[in-house]
Structure 1
Amino acid sequence: MGTGVRPARLTEEKPWTRPWWEPSQGNGTVLFYIVSIHVLALAGLVLFPLPDWRILAVALTIASIGGVGTSVCYHRCLAHRSVRLNRIVEGILIFFTIFNGSGEPMTWVANHRHHHAKSDTEEDVSSPRHGGFWWAHIRWVYQWSGSEVRRWCPDLDRRWYRVWRRLQIPIVMTSVFFGIIFGWEGFFWIGAIRLVYALHFQMFVNSLLHMTPGLPEGVDSSRNIWWLGPLQFGAWGENWHKNHHSDANAARFGRSWWQIDFGWYVICGLKALGLASDVRPAKEHLKRQVR
């Protein structure tokens, strides 16, 4: 989510100095969404602390497909162009990524490319150097006015991607209420609880995986955390963040057999089926570097 409007420089705007409840102009709906799903999730956990296994299976399946969408489609395909996906596959993954609460692709990619271009500097939009853990984890999403789409991803400023921006709110609303077909238990677990879980385990990439204390500005703060991967479901592999930052355009994040990278396995499967192409390999001198 986000506005995609032209922002001021981050250090001029200093949004982390505002109270946490004060969104940037145009991002009030984003804050409302975040607060709403947390309130609903809390209510759901109180009312239905132990869901039926079938409802839990549906929630985990949707979260996993959304995680694949974020990792393979948004991150590797659209943001870094490390793989090309069949258009139908791309459309399906975009739908489930929005359905999982990650927002439409243009804003996501603009913010991500901005982050890589300015990583660990004063203009890094999601750096914990600014407002600490909570700024990097969630506050920047609704308190920063947004990275400019035309500057950071002009290649996505086309009709195919703009239509997803118009469809974003209907898709998210459907996601919130979809579980009601399974009753109130499904409403809470397949809706808000899933969305809150997906939100935080995506945001740990910005916060937890960049919190390396004691480093001077401009020094790479990214790190790998092995135990985060299994909790990311379909996005398992995003936890090898140090690997990714050292070779951002490589399609594979894991560098050894034990570094599970589910997104890479999906890419290999799609390539075998003729549904993915132009897969970028890791740089030769980095392939055996495991951290």
Structure 2
Amino acid sequence: MGLLGMWVTFLMTPCAYFMGRKWNLLDLVTAGMFVTIHVLCLFAPFYFSWPLFLLAVVLGYSTGLGVTLSYHRNLAHRSFRLPKFLEYFFAYIAVLSAQGSPIEWVSTHRYHHQYTDTEKDAHSPREGFWFSHMGWILDSNRRFGRYGGLKNVEDMKRQPFYRFLHHTFLLHSVILGGILYAIGGFPFIVWGMGVRMTAAFHGTLLVNSAGHTWGYQAWNTGDLSKNLWWLGLLGLGEGWHNNHHAFDYSARQGLEWWQIDVTWYVIRLLEALGLATDVKLPSEAHKKRKALETRKNMVSHEISHED
């Protein structure tokens, strides 16, 4: 397929997906937010300054770290424990990313690991790269209909704080936007909301799409998860995705010394301060067993390929 054909396919796939489907209020709000933050980015060159760039970077990395540290490693996988005040603090920082409530995000991710790259996976690239990147998040009926709703997060639904955030999560981003506008006007909205949220959204969504498409597999996980170095940098350590699917309970995803994992460095600091406890890591015995499974799988694949 030529370059023109690739671009036509990329542009037509979302159009074909949107046509002939039912939209509910949540999907319309989500689509409207996506369009709004991307349109705001168009104004960024006209309002560029280094302080505004720094604003986007600081807010982007802070809310992004909230997602990776709180939503993902702490709440979804319970790979470490925090005092409740600190657990709730990081969860609130993650809410300001506008990537969903803690209950919704964690539920989808737990189902992702339960049904990785099968027909029940919420965002597998088996249904197309575009679907795994953005299409899935714009179709809540299809997403939650696959497994009957929020049935795997009872531990979080019992906590009033998470129930509150579940019903109000977008409101907190609106409040943040109002604060930014009061401080610096429209340029602060462009960089502090538009640029920051667009970059953070795509950084997270690339783990679902690129992290199951490109890169290499260090471990036999039986799915499409890959390790991708540039996604490891962009996603604060989340790009070592094959490592994560091999040891999903691990607080550390960059298992080699050269695999940069910013989220793990923060967890390690919290542990050193006595704030993070019960930090889970794969034992050497577990890694050796997984490595042996991988080698056996590779040999079996080579033999079957020769036959």
TM-score by length of 2: 0.79
Give the alignment of 1:166-177 within 5 angstroms.
166-177=167-178
8 Å CA contact 2:253–2:264 kept in 1: the answer is yes
Over 3 Å counting, the alpha-carbon distance change for 1:63 and 1:206 in structure 2 is same
Q: 1:135 Cα shift?
A: 0.6
Q: 1:253 Cα shift?
A: 0.4
8 Å CA contact 2:243–2:255 kept in 1: the answer is yes
1:78-100 CA-partner distances (Å, limit 9, x unpaired): 10111111212222211221112
8 Å CA contact 2:232–2:259 kept in 1: the answer is no
Q: How many residues end up aligned between the 2 structures?
A: 267
In structure 2, distance between residues paired with 1:275 and 1:210: 33
Is residue 211 of structure 1 aligned with residue 208 of structure 2?
no
Over 3 Å counting, the alpha-carbon distance change for 1:23 and 1:60 in structure 2 is farther
RMSD of the TM alignment (CA)?
Answer: 2.7
8 Å CA contact 2:233–2:239 kept in 1: the answer is no
8 Å CA contact 2:177–2:189 kept in 1: the answer is yes
Is residue 45 of structure 1 aligned with residue 50 of structure 2?
no
In structure 2, distance between residues paired with 1:79 and 1:87: 15
Over 3 Å counting, the alpha-carbon distance change for 1:111 and 1:23 in structure 2 is farther
Q: Which of 84, 87, 106 is matched with 1:109 structurally?
A: 106
Moved more, 136-145 or 280-289: 280-289
Q: Residue 143 of structure 1 aligns with which residue?
A: 139
Identity %: 35
Q: 1:52 Cα shift?
A: 1.7
In structure 2, distance between residues paired with 1:21 and 1:31: 16
Over 3 Å counting, the alpha-carbon distance change for 1:18 and 1:228 in structure 2 is closer
Q: Gapped runs of 5+ residues in structure 1?
A: 1-15
Q: 1:45 Cα shift?
A: 2.6
8 Å CA contact 2:104–2:150 kept in 1: the answer is no
Q: Higher helix share goes to which structure?
A: 2
**Which fold has the larger relative contact order, with Cα–Cα distance below 8 Å and residues 6 or more apart in sequence?**
1
1:170-190 CA-partner distances (Å, limit 9, x unpaired): 112123444322232222011
Q: Residue 245 of structure 1 aligns with which residue?
A: 245
Give the alignment of 1:52-131 within 5 angstroms.
52-130=49-127
8 Å CA contact 1:179–1:186 kept in 2: the answer is yes
Q: Residue 9 of structure 1 aligns with which residue?
A: none
Q: Gapped runs of 5+ residues in structure 2?
A: 1-14, 216-220, 295-307
Over 3 Å counting, the alpha-carbon distance change for 1:20 and 1:188 in structure 2 is farther
Over 3 Å counting, the alpha-carbon distance change for 1:125 and 1:277 in structure 2 is same
Q: Residue 6 of structure 1 aligns with which residue?
A: none
Q: Residue 180 of structure 2 aligns with which residue?
A: 179
8 Å CA contact 2:233–2:261 kept in 1: the answer is no
Q: 1:69 Cα shift?
A: 1.0
Q: Residue 18 of structure 2 aligns with which residue?
A: 19
Q: Residue 263 of structure 1 aligns with which residue?
A: 263
In structure 2, distance between residues paired with 1:171 and 1:183: 18
Task: Answer with 1 or 2: which has the greater Rg.
Answer: 2
Q: Residue 130 of structure 2 aligns with which residue?
A: 134
Q: Residue 191 of structure 2 aligns with which residue?
A: 189
8 Å CA contact 2:66–2:91 kept in 1: the answer is yes
1:144-200 CA-partner distances (Å, limit 9, x unpaired): 324355422111112121011133121121234443222322220111111111100
